[in-house]
């Protein structure tokens, strides 16, 4: 589970330059950018905030994301 103080400072690395890049938590396993829809997996309580990783899941609806994400 991601602590709220960490979630308060994390932003989507793509959107933060021009927009807010606010992230929401999906089932304690994914961070979803509210601006672009990239989805970043949370593995062992560590968010994987790599642009390539988030982009892999951009077209996948949140309901179809694997919980927990595969490593």
Total of domains in the chain? 1
Domain membership flag for residue 51: yes
Q: Whole-structure pTM over 0.85, yes or no?
A: yes
What is the rounded (10 degree) CA torsion for 12, 17, 22, 25?
Answer: 0
Render pLDDT for 33-45 as a digit per residue (tens, 0 to 9): 999 999 999 999 8
Q: What is the pLDDT, as a whole number, of residue 2?
A: 85
**Containing structural domain, residue 51:** 4-64
CA-to-CA distance for 36 and 56, rounded, in angstroms?
Answer: 13
Domain membership flag for residue 14: yes
Domain membership flag for residue 71: no
Contact at 8 Å (CB) between 69 and 60?
A: no
CA 57 to chain centre: 10
Render pLDDT for 7-58 as a digit per residue (tens, 0 to 9): 999 999 999 989 999 999 999 999 999 999 999 999 998 999 999 999 999 9
pLDDT band at 70 (very low <50, low <70, confident <90, very high): confident
H or E element in which residue 56 lies:
helix 51-56
């Amino acid at each position: 589970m991601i602590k709220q103080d960490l979630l308060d400072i994390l932003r989507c690395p793509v959107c933060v330059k021009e927009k807010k890049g606010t992230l929401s938590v999906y089932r304690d396993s994914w961070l979803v950018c509210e601006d672009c829809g990239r989805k970043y997996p949370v593995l062992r309580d560590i968010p994987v905030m790599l642009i390539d990783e988030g982009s892999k899941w951009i077209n996948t609806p949140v309901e179809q994301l694997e919980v927990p994400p595969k490593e």
